[in-house]
Structure formats: C-alpha cells, structure tokens
Amino acid sequence: MVPATQVQQRNAQTHQLANGLVLVGEPTDAVQSAALSLLVPSGYSNDPVDRLGLSSLLCDMVLRGAGERDSRALINDLEVLGVERGESVGVSQTTFSAATVATNLEEALGVYADIVRRPHLPENQLEAGKLVCLQELHGVDDEPSQRLMLELRRRTYAQPWGRSSLGDESGITGSTSTDVRDYWSRHFRPQGAILGVAGNFDWDRLVGRVEELFADWESTDIPPAVELPNEELPTHILQESNQCHIGIAFPSVPYRDPDYLRAWAAVGVLSGGMSSRLFTEVREKRGLCYTVNASLQTQRERARVLCYAGTTAERAQETLDVTFAELIKLRDGVEQGELDRLKARIKSGLIMQQESTSSRSGAIARDWYHLGRIRSLEEVGGQVDAMTSQDINEFLQAHPPSDFTFVTLGPAELELPKVE
C-alpha cells in the first residue's frame, strides 16, 4: 500500500489514496459545469493473444448494469443527471469521461464508482455485447482510411503496442463470461488508476467523496505486457477500388520527453491548417489528393508521426512521392513565419481548452499519467511563447525524420521511395 498523500501544485490539486488511485483536480468558479476523466489500467496491450478485443468487450459490458442499477436504470440515471459521456479503450487504459452541471458531480461519481467496481457483467447480455464489438470491427471494412491507419500502426509499433483496440473476430467471438469477469478482476484496479476532475467544485469535499467511493477498492498485481518483435507484413494491401490510401510513419519522442513540444510543433508546421506544408504542397498546389495530414501519436514510452494521404489510383504514385519529399524536407528545418502561424492556432486551442471542463479534466489526467505532475495552461502557453524556430530546428537536426514505415491500400502496388 502507498500512504495517502496530498500536495498542491499551482492551480491544480492532487490526492493519492492508500490503494494507489490518484485524484487530480483543477477547481474553478468561472464555470457552472464539472467533468471527470477516469483512467483505468485496462488497455488492449493486455489482451491475451487468443482473446484480442476482450478489453473492448469488457468496456461495453460494464455499462450493462452496475451496483443497484440494471442496464436500463444505469443509462437512465446518467441521462437524468444530464451526463455527456464517452468511453474508449487505449493501448494501456480504458477511459470513462463524463461532464455534467456542477451540482450533479458527486452523484455522477457514485455511478462511475459502481461501473468500474461493481459491474454486473450479465451473462445473458454477453452476445449482445459481442455483436456491438463485431459491428465496430466490421465497420472498418467500409472505412479504408481507418483500415489503412490500423495497418500502419500494426507495422510501425512492436507488439502489443501496435494492436487495434477493436481486436479480431476470433478473439471477440471466443470470449466467455468467465474471460470477461476474470479480465475485469485483474485489470480494473486502483494502482495505476487516475481520476481527473475539472470545473466548479470544492476540493476538500471532492477528496472526501472520492475516499468514500474508492478507498476500499482492493489492489491487485499483474505482470507488465511483454514486448514482441513484429511479424513480417506486406507493405501493400490489395483492394479493388479507384482510390488509393497511403500511410507513412516514423519514430518521434513521447509526451514525457522534454523535447515533446518541439516535436509536436514540427509536425504542426507539416500538418496543421490550410497553410501547412502538406496541405499547400500536396493538395493546394498540385491537387493530388482529397485529404492529407500528419499527427504525432504518443504512448507512454514511445511515439510515432503518422501520415495519411487519400487519392485516386491514377495519382497515387505522385502523391506518395510528393508527400515523402515533404517529410524529408522537414529535416532542413522550419521558418519563423511558419512557427508564428502555428503559435496562433495553439493559443486558440488553449483558450478553448480553458473554457471546456471536459477537455481540461482529460488534459490533467493525461499530464499525470505521462509526467507525474500537472501543467497549468499558463505554463504551456509560456513554453509556446518562448519557443523559436531555432529550437525546432535543433530538435530536427537531432531527430530527423527517418526509419520510415510504409503501407498502401488500393488496386496496385506502388514504388516505395528510396530512403537514404
């Protein structure tokens, strides 16, 4: 057990329960809402190899009744509280998010304590849960861009980090009620769990409520996921279509790295608005594709820049060549004017995050997970203001785009660029 501790850091507050759960909060009386983000250490990297998709199935099943509420009563009570909610399964965590009027926060917390601690996991609804998961899995067949990006992640990350949260058909259909309950008992646990709360609330009262709801949540120990080398997979996926989908990935630094903001800014210059390089060079000037973008996708220990372009089969080769050329050109650095435009977009995003308790609760929970501390919006804004093009260029000299992974999906295989 970890002794309960409490510290204050700028506007944020933190409180760790004896069982390991960490509460992070950012109270403000400037809004009338409150939001929570509950991160439970149950991610798809923990799925057994013959039960891929089990974590997503569990995420569905915990909402089919919990505590004293059956499935219908649970959803009804959340609606009566006016909760806007969401659930997602990531590589290492399952996230439950909820926003409501501030006066309903404590009651909403009680509902979510039941969901993660006392789910019914009804056996008579297991098949319905499987059908939901299978529909999401099969829906990828109708979304080739999504399929392409799943295949890109699968190839650029070592396993199990490159898995899809959707799992596979055999893993979902083969899962039993015992599998679901055993997985829940092992992975829905307080150590590693993070509860982020932002909005209009009293901190001391919130701490008392969280202690009341979660203090007797029992800890369990599980071994960490074992990293395995990737299997050899083809770089082209045949799909008869008049369209072609192109994916390119290369390594970067994760969120916890001191250079993350510079890495993120470099990708922002590459793909962030209509003045970005990819939009200007690939789409606007040449009209090669209907969409092109890049993003920095980060896990706790590793990160990748993931690039996507969707185009016609006739223009696919040129689209690939021009897109890749822009990635290579990034090695030469960025200009101050490009950074200035990016800073304006970043500041707009920070202002909107400040006005959204949902965004802020997720951000402070994410900060704690990756950094072990909470950054204020003022701190982030100050780092953005202080950043120069020279800072980014020094980062790019030390971490030039390289070690590329390619995947294409369409009617014909493309000639991959020669990487120096």
Indicate which CATH number applies to the domain containing 338: 3.30.830.10
- Does the pLDDT at position 320 exceed 80? yes
Q: What is the pLDDT of residues 55-65, one digit of tens each?
A: 999 999 999 99
Same domain membership, residue 243 and residue 207: no
- Is residue 45 very low, low, confident or very high in pLDDT (cuts 50, 70, 90)? very high
Same domain membership, residue 366 and residue 247: yes
Q: What is the pLDDT of residues 149-159, one digit of tens each?
A: 999 999 999 99
SS3 sequence, the chain?
CCCCEEEEECCEEEEECCCCCEEEEEECCCCCEEEEEEEECCCHHHCCCCCCCHHHHHHHHCCCCECCECHHHHHHHHHHCCCEEEEEECCCCEEEEEEEEHHHHHHHHHHHHHHHHCECCCHHHHHHHHHHHHHHHHHHHHCHHHHHHHHHHHHHCCECCCCCCCCCHHHHHHCCHHHHHHHHHHHCCCCCCEEEEEECCCHHHHHHHHHHHHCCCCCCCCCCCCCECCCCCCCEEECCCCEEEEEEEEEECCCCCCCHHHHHHHHHHHCCCCCCHHHHHHHHCCCCEEEEEEEEEECCCCEEEEEEEEEECCCHHHHHHHHHHHHHHHHHCCCHHHHHHHHHHHHHHHHHHHHCHHHHHHHHHHHHHHHCCCCCHHHHHHHHHHCCHHHHHHHHHHCCCCCCEEEEEECCCCCCCCCC
Full domain range(s) for residue 392: 236-410
- Does the pLDDT at position 315 exceed 90? yes
Q: What is the pLDDT of residues 162-193, one digit of tens each?
A: 999 999 999 999 999 999 999 999 999 999 99
- Does the pLDDT at position 8 exceed 70? no
| Average pLDDT of the segment spanning 304-332 | 96
Q: What is the pLDDT of residues 14-44, one digit of tens each?
A: 999 999 999 999 999 999 999 999 999 999 9
- Is residue 9 very low, low, confident or very high in pLDDT (cuts 50, 70, 90)? very low
Same domain membership, residue 193 and residue 96: yes
Query: What integer best gives the mean pLDDT of the chain?
Result: 93
Same domain membership, residue 379 and residue 342: yes
- Does the pLDDT at position 74 exceed 60? yes
Same domain membership, residue 302 and residue 266: yes
The count of domains in the chain is 2
- Does the pLDDT at position 194 exceed 60? yes
- Is residue 350 very low, low, confident or very high in pLDDT (cuts 50, 70, 90)? low
Task: Identify the pLDDT of residue 1.
Answer: 38
- Is residue 352 very low, low, confident or very high in pLDDT (cuts 50, 70, 90)? low
User: Which has more confidence, 393 or 226?
Assistant: 393
| Average pLDDT of the segment spanning 75-81 | 97
| Final residue of a structural domain among 214, 248, 277 | 214
Same domain membership, residue 302 and residue 178: no
